Structure 1
Amino acid sequence: MFDFNSLLHFSHAHCVAICAALVPLNLLATILTLILTGLHRPTAEVLKVAGVAIAFAGIMVLHVLTWFVIGVVMVPTYVLLTLGTVCFVVNAWAILHSSSLHRLLNRLTDVAKQSFPVLG
């Protein structure tokens, strides 16, 4: 039988290590999803990376929710919840409607090239 209390205790006892791993993993996986989408890589490749990134984001959100369960409401919990949610949404967008995300990334790239002609 699954013991939810043991999972909560593990999450709280190892919070720093969990966050130290999940924050960079979320950022790197989401950035990789954006890069692959922007480069118009094959859908299967984007799906794999975005799926892993969604898993990382989901774990982070669940980890933060364990703190809300015991009543810990502080700025870091909201920051981590926001990070996990944004990463989840961006990766879900890449999976569900990659063409619109690709268009947005192209527009942002064009604006950056116009704003910084040295880069172009």
Structure 2
Amino acid sequence: MLDAFHSLSEFSRTHCIAICAFLVPANLLATVLTLGLTALRRPTVQIQRAVGLASCFALVMVLHVLTWLAVGIVMPPTYILFWLASTCLLINIWAIAYPASLNRILDVLLVWFKRRQPELHQPE
């Protein structure tokens, strides 16, 4: 069991650039998908699927960062990636646990953005 964990940790550290190059955009896109489905008030089943996918990416990133922390590598990218994964995970949990409050915040942000960008909403 420990051999498998050790091998997986070594794989994670050896291929760090490729793993992060996939996981960072995957986390962001999957979380934006969750936010979009929540803002559009899509059925709960669709939101749950998006949350499941996004949570998998976030948890894999947390585990990847933990492999670095286990060997004592503590650098700014370690904390930044851990913060990104944690934030994405919390947003996805929020989308499932309290979708109404998330919708209210997304509505406020949308109104604020529309007021700040009037040229985007003028008919030509």
Name segments (4+ residues, structure 1) moved above 4 Å: none
**Aligned position for 2:53:** 52
Corresponding residue number in structure 1 for 2:38 = 37
Q: Are 1:64 and 2:54 matched, yes or no?
A: no
**Which residue of structure 2 lines up, in the alignment, with residue 23 of structure 1?**
24
Alignment of 1:1-120 (within 5 A): 1=1, 3-120=4-121
Q: What RMSD over aligned residues (CA atoms) do the two structures have, in Å?
A: 1.1
What letter corresponds to residue 29 of structure 2 in structure 1? L
How does the TM-score come out when normalised to structure 2? 0.92
The alignment of Structure 1 onto Structure 2 pairs a total of residues equal to 120
Unmatched tracts of structure 1, length 5 or more: none
Q: State the shift of 1:119 in Å.
A: 3.2
Q: What is the Cα deviation at residue 62 of structure 1?
A: 0.7
2 CA distance for matches of 1:112 and 1:17?
34
What is the letter of the counterpart of residue 10 of structure 1?
F
Provide the rounded CA distance (Å) in 1 between the counterparts of 2:120 and 2:51: 28
> Distance in 2 between the 1:75 and 1:81 partners?
10
Q: CA deviation at 1:13?
A: 1.0
Q: CA deviation at 1:117?
A: 2.3
> Take 1:67 and 1:56, find their aligned partners in 2: how far apart are those partners?
17
Q: Give 5+ residue unaligned stretches, structure 2.
A: none
Give the TM-score, by structure 1 length: 0.95
Identity %: 52
Q: Point out the more displaced range, 107-116 or 70-79.
A: 107-116
Counterpart of 1:8, as a letter, is S
